[in-house]
A and B are shown apart, each in its own frame.
Chain A
Amino acid sequence: MATTTSGTAKVTLPADNQILITREFNAPARLVWRAYTTPELIRRWWSGGHGPVIVADVDLRVGGKWRYVLDAGGFEVGFHGEYREIQEPERLVNTEAYEGIPDPDEHAALVTVTLAEKDGRTFLEMLVEHRDQADRDAHVNSGMESGMQVAMDQLEVIAAELA
């Protein structure tokens, strides 16, 4: 049907330290917000089918903590962070640390999710901001190894343009 949204996530890199993931959903913002922030719903989508989500802790208040863990067939992939801004259902800002590297919190990214609703559909933007180039490099490396990571680098834009 005309409203299908499957496979339409787009990744762009607006700046050296940023990743922008965008996706439209055929649902109002209040429901996208619920799916994005409710533990039992997070468990159903966050792993992307790569294994069971064994932890989905959400303390949804400013200063509250979150932690998700995926069981990727024998090893665990964990992320955690803290909520910084909460404006239901249109804006959520949190830190995001990947537990697979040393000193995860020292290298946490800042993630800003905005939801814009129009005609019953919701346009999601997820902006991931990294601290510096060294962190980006580390994340890109871990991404190449695991294929499940949270970082990207400006240079992939060039690669995409050239491919």
Chain B
Amino acid sequence: MARAATTTDAFNAVAEPRRRQILDLLAAGELPVNDLVALLGLAQPQVSKHLRVLREVDLVHVRDEGRQRMYRLNAEPLKPIHDWLSKYEQAWNNRFDLMDDVLEELKEAEKADGDHD
């Protein structure tokens, strides 16, 4: 299914490893842009570019504190993805729970056969 090319939704925005790294850092708490630059080991313009993309899809919020720009995470746009992850895990739970029933029967059958082994 076709999707917009790069950064027009949260899904695409987090496909870039550096931006995922930024989100990970911000998951621990609000950070000034200078700290992000230091933690990432990237040039400021690169970090600013990534932050701009993340802001465009509403994954980060920004506020001014004195002379600092403070960035913080807004995880809400990722919720659909999280919901999907839960669905995937649930699908495997459904399968394996049924496999439990099969295994109980196989164990019973082995026990019944036990005298022969």
Contact = CB atoms under 8 A, between A and B. Distances in A.
Partners in one complex: yes
Interface of A: 5-11, 16, 21, 23, 25-27, 31-32, 34-36, 41, 44-50, 133, 137-138, 140-145, 147-149, 152-156, 158-163
B92 A140 contact: no
Given A133-B15, A147-B91, 19 more contacts: A5-B96, A7-B97, A8-B93, A9-B92, A9-B93, A21-B92, A31-B107, A35-B102, A44-B101, A48-B94, A137-B15, A140-B11, A143-B84, A153-B15, A156-B81, A158-B27, A159-B79, A159-B81, A163-B75
A161 B84 CA distance: 14
Interface of B: 1, 3, 11, 14-15, 17, 20, 23-24, 27, 73, 75, 78-82, 84-85, 87-89, 91-104, 106-107, 110
Contact of A44 (B1, B87, B102): B102
Nearest to A16: B17
Contacts of A162: 23, 27, 73, 75, 78, 82
A10 B106 CA distance: 24
A155 B14 contact: yes
B88 A160 contact: no
